[in-house]
């Protein structure tokens, strides 16, 4: 591909796990020209000193909208609340943005403010597109602002979308398990090796912030319900499994009918793998793939659906690149193994 066809891009907030992986994928991407990586911490250090395995030889700079905002596209990996104002500035300059924060995921500002904080840019919410490519491919293609989903919502919504669309989800318990990279780069008691090793426990009980995001999307798809969502921390680095226990609105639906819903939804999808054995995370490590298995508990009537992703890849950074590919009319899997 001729150099002239490359889009310039910057990753704002590249010192964290998600931003640095996005930088790596874009640095190696044939159609993007990664110009800048910025951060609050580690300014002046080369990214490949902090993350040698990413091999991105760029120096982290302090973000400066005048210096770094003159690009075609941006990935913003800022904390919730800090992201929206910066995204607004980028959009004002005509930059297409994929935002990794939660700031534009919730379509209802009141819900956002109930679960997070006062919203700094409520007027932008309406135009943001929820960046789950398998569900909203067309809208993403035309968007200038994409709200990249949370990692848990990515796995959960992909796992449940076929049931949600059929209006079949009367109730759902979602027991999620995540590797430690999901907790971020901050070194704390909770991410210390000795705390995590040989351990497993839930956290964010009973009100994890990904709950309203999951409920919103299930409702949009066709199943309005309140879910119980409970994440657990596991002694592994990357990988996320959601175990979804669904009480079906119509208990007479056959297992074969349920399976057909999944095949109809996903058989053509490059990054979805339907499997019959319970999905495991090792099979999707360092990929943009979501692996899904559907089971039926005949005794209780429940559907049990497992969704496995790599939280940093399909759950965050490679999904962001998938969205960027769509936004710029590129083949959807470019640069992410597709």
- Positions touching a second copy (CB under 8 A) are 17, 52-53, 171, 173, 175, 177, 179-181, 185, 187-189, 191-203, 205-207, 211, 226-228, 230, 232, 234-239, 241, 243, 245, 275, 277-287, 291, 295-300, 302, 304, 306, 308
Taking the complex as a whole, the smallest distance from the CB of residue 163 to a second copy amounts, in Å, to 16
Taking the complex as a whole, the smallest distance from the CB of residue 89 to a second copy amounts, in Å, to 31
Q: Is the dihedral of CA 113, 116, 121, 123 positive or negative?
A: negative
Nearer to a second copy, 41 or 89 (CB): 41
Nearer to a second copy, 71 or 289 (CB): 289
Nearer to a second copy, 1 or 187 (CB): 187
Rounded-to-integer distance, Cα 13 and Cα 43, Å:
11
From the candidates 11, 23, 151, 303, which is the catalytic residue?
A: 151
Q: How many residues does the chain have?
A: 338
* Burial classification of residue 200, based on how many CB atoms lie within 10 Å of its CB (0-12 exposed, 13-18 middle, 19 or more buried): exposed
> b/e for 92-111, b at 16 or more Cβ within 10 A?
eeebbbbbbbbbbbbbeeee
The token pair at 104 is 């534009």
Taking the complex as a whole, the smallest distance from the CB of residue 72 to a second copy amounts, in Å, to 27
Taking the complex as a whole, the smallest distance from the CB of residue 71 to a second copy amounts, in Å, to 27
Local structure of residue 14 (DSSP, 8 states): T
The token pair at 218 is 């299930």
Nearer to a second copy, 96 or 285 (CB): 285
Q: Is 290 a catalytic residue?
A: no
Local structure of residue 126 (DSSP, 8 states): G
Catalytic residues: 151
């Amino acid at each position: 591909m001729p150099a002239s066809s490359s889009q310039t891009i910057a990753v704002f907030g590249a010192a964290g796990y998600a931003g640095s992986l996005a930088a790596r994928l874009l640095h190696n991407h044939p159609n993007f020209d990664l110009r800048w990586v910025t951060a609050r911490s580690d300014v002046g250090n080369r990214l490949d000193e902090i993350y040698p395995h990413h091999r991105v030889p760029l120096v982290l700079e302090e973000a400066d909208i005048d210096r770094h905002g003159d690009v075609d596209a941006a990935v913003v990996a800022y904390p919730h609340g800090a992201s929206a104002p910066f995204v607004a500035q980028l959009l004002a300059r005509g930059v297409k943005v994929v935002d990794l924060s939660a700031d534009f995921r919730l379509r209802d500002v009141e819900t956002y403010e109930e679960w997070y904080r006062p919203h700094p840019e409520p007027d932008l919410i309406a135009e943001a597109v929820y960046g789950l490519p398998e569900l909203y491919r067309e809208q993403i293609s035309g968007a200038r602002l994409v709200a990249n989903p949370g990692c848990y919502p990515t796995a959960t919504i992909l796992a449940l979308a076929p049931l949600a669309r059929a209006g079949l989800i009367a109730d759902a318990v979602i027991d999620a398990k995540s590797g430690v990279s999901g907790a971020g780069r901050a070194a704390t008691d909770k991410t210390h090796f000795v705390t995590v090793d040989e351990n497993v426990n839930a956290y964010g009980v009973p009100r994890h912030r990904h709950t309203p995001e999951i409920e919103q999307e299930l409702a949009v798809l066709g199943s309005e319900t309140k879910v119980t969502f409970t994440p657990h921390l596991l002694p592994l680095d990357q990988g996320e499994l959601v175990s979804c226990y669904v009480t079906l609105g119509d208990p007479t639906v056959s297992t074969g009918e349920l399976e057909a819903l999944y095949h109809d939804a996903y058989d053509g999808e490059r990054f979805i793998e339907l499997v019959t054995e319970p999905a495991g995370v090792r099979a999707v490590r360092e990929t943009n793939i979501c692996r899904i298995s559907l089971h039926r508990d005949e005794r209780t009537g429940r559907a049990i659906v497992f969704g496995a992703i790599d939280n940093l890849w399909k759950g965050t950074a490679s999904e962001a690149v998938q969205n960027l590919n769509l936004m710029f009319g590129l083949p959807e899997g470019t640069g992410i193994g597709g």
